[in-house]
């Protein structure tokens, strides 16, 4: 793999790097660098504000548009999943185990635990002769409420297959099988599969691996903290791998991942979820991927752009209006989409327990 420093120089990246492994203030900048992005109004009066940062970059990693501090330190969380899945292709594992496009997309998604997603994860594991008992992501109820209720009605308990991160963990187990690595302890940073994943994230973000901040994700694997602009750059490289000058094998892998995800938005999140709904409103045009704690990223192939945003207080309710507005500003979502299928996301109306609309949540920025 191309070293991150070499790749950064090759891409002409200009951003001054801060060591994300060291303690660092949340914003890393004065408060005025975190402008209001989303506002809650009650009775027509401001009640609260969600501040943050947005950055739009091209495949060379340079900022083209944005608001707030472009280097706001951001844990990528689940927005890293498409980057973490790339070694499945570059290693030859995807070809060896004959993964379908839907299965590849499943490896990149934060899954709802819906039956078709569980089936995809089982299929991926089965193709490598692996069982679901190896999944070390933990157990929670399916995020998709109807699926959770149906499971309960059948008297069945949730399993790791219903975890949001089951696809990502299946990808890691697949890599273990392909390389002949012991899957035991595959969630540890010292395990070869995690070193491979870290290298992939560093390469796509054009950021030195040794300077990436490391934490532990909700599913138990290492998670990465980088400047927001680095996340946007990674998604720009997914959007336009050839223009980014990525090494041939990596560029091909990025193209395959993008093609799979664009064709299967239902695998990126699931029914009624932001990522899937936004992708379906702009079919075949974007890969939209949530992180957690207010992080979000979008790859836009037709514009050769990457978009990343971070809600500073981490509140997920601010993401739908902010994401919809940012994509509107970039001419990806038109008024027809925003006032039609995405109306409840773009302009959220909050109801009280009597069913009355009492507050409005909407974006308050222009890029």
User: If you compute the radius of gyration of the chain from its CA atoms, what whole number of angstroms results?
Assistant: 20
- Cα–Cα dist 144/130, whole Å: 26
Three-point CA angle 311, 283, 288, nearest 5°: 20
- Cα–Cα dist 314/296, whole Å: 11
The reported pLDDT for the residue numbered 17 is 59
- Cα–Cα dist 83/86, whole Å: 6
**Residues facing residue 51 across a β-bridge:** 36
The reported pLDDT for the residue numbered 13 is 38
The reported pLDDT for the residue numbered 33 is 72
Per-residue pLDDT averaged across 15-25, rounded? Answer: 55
DSSP string, 307-357: EEEEETT--GGGHHHHHHHHHHHTTSS-HHHHHTTTHHHHEEEEE-TTS-E
- Cα–Cα dist 287/262, whole Å: 6
Domain borders along the chain are 4-363
Distances (CA, A) of 267 to 54, 153, 273: 25, 25, 11
Q: Give me 229's structure tokens.
A: 């602009």
- Cα–Cα dist 208/22, whole Å: 14
169, 135 in Cβ contact below 8 A? yes
Q: How confident is the model at residue 137 (pLDDT cuts 50, 70, 90)?
A: very high
- Cα–Cα dist 336/116, whole Å: 30
**156: which DSSP letter?**
P
Per-residue pLDDT averaged across 297-322, rounded? Answer: 98
- Ranges 18-22, 243-247, 306-310, 316-320: which has the least confidence: 18-22
The reported pLDDT for the residue numbered 30 is 53
- Please tell me whether residue 320 adopts helix, strand or coil conformation: helix
Q: How confident is the model at residue 2 (pLDDT cuts 50, 70, 90)?
A: very low
pLDDT in tens, 70-128: 999 999 999 999 999 999 999 999 999 999 999 999 999 999 999 999 999 999 999 99
Q: How many CB atoms lie within 10 A of CB 291?
A: 26
User: Taking the complete model, does pTM exceed 0.95, yes or no?
Assistant: no
- How long a stretch of residues is the chain? 367
Q: How confident is the model at residue 21 (pLDDT cuts 50, 70, 90)?
A: low
Per-residue pLDDT averaged across 132-144, rounded? Answer: 97
**Residues facing residue 55 across a β-bridge:** 66, 308
pLDDT at 12 over 50: no
Q: Give me 315's structure tokens.
A: 């509140």
pLDDT at 154 over 60: yes
The reported pLDDT for the residue numbered 24 is 47
212, 234 in Cβ contact below 8 A? no
Task: Work out the percent of the chain whose per-residue pLDDT is above 70.
Answer: 92
- Cα–Cα dist 235/241, whole Å: 9
Per-residue pLDDT averaged across 20-39, rounded? Answer: 66
pLDDT in tens, 204-262: 999 999 999 999 999 999 999 999 999 999 999 999 999 999 999 999 999 999 999 99
- Please tell me whether residue 223 adopts helix, strand or coil conformation: strand
- Ranges 14-28, 93-107, 344-358: which has the least confidence: 14-28
- Cα–Cα dist 230/13, whole Å: 10
196, 174 in Cβ contact below 8 A? no
């Amino acid at each position: 793999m191309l070293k991150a420093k070499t790749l950064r120089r090759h891409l002409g990246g200009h951003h001054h790097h801060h060591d994300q492994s060291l303690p660092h203030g949340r914003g890393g900048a004065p408060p005025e660098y975190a402008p209001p992005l989303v506002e809650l109004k009650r009775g027509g009066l401001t009640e609260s504000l969600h501040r943050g940062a947005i950055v739009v970059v091209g495949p060379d990693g340079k900022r083209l548009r944005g608001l707030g501090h472009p280097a706001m330190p951001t844990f990528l969380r689940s927005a890293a999943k498409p980057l973490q899945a790339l070694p499945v292709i570059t290693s030859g594992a995807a070809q060896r185990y004959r993964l379908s496009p839907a299965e590849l997309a499943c490896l990149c998604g934060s899954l709802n635990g819906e039956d078709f997603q569980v089936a995809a994860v089982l299929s991926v594991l089965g193709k490598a002769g692996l069982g679901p008992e190896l999944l070390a992501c933990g157990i929670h109820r399916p995020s998709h409420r109807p699926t959770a209720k149906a499971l309960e009605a059948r008297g069945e308990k949730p399993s790791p297959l219903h975890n949001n991160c089951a696809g990502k963990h299946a990808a890691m187990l697949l890599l273990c099988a392909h390389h002949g690595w012991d899957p035991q302890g595959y969630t540890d940073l010292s395990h070869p599969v995690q070193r491979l994943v870290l290298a992939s994230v560093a390469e796509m973000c054009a950021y030195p691996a040794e300077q990436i901040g490391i934490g532990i994700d909700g599913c138990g694997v290492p998670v990465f903290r980088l400047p927001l602009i680095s996340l946007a750059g990674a998604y720009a490289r997914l959007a336009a791998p050839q223009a980014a000058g990525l090494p041939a094998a990596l560029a091909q892998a990025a193209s395959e991942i993008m093609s799979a995800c664009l064709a299967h938005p239902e695998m990126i999140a699931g029914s009624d979820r932001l990522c899937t709904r936004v992708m379906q409103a702009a079919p075949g045009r974007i890969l939209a991927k949530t992180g957690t704690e207010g992080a979000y990223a979008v790859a836009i192939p037709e514009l050769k752009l990457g978009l990343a945003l971070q809600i500073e207080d981490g509140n997920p309710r601010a993401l739908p209006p902010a994401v919809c507005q940012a994509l509107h500003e970039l001419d990806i979502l038109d008024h027809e989409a925003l006032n039609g299928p995405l109306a409840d996301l773009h302009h959220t109306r909050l109801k009280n327990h009597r069913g009355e609309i009492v507050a409005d949540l909407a974006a308050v920025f222009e890029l």
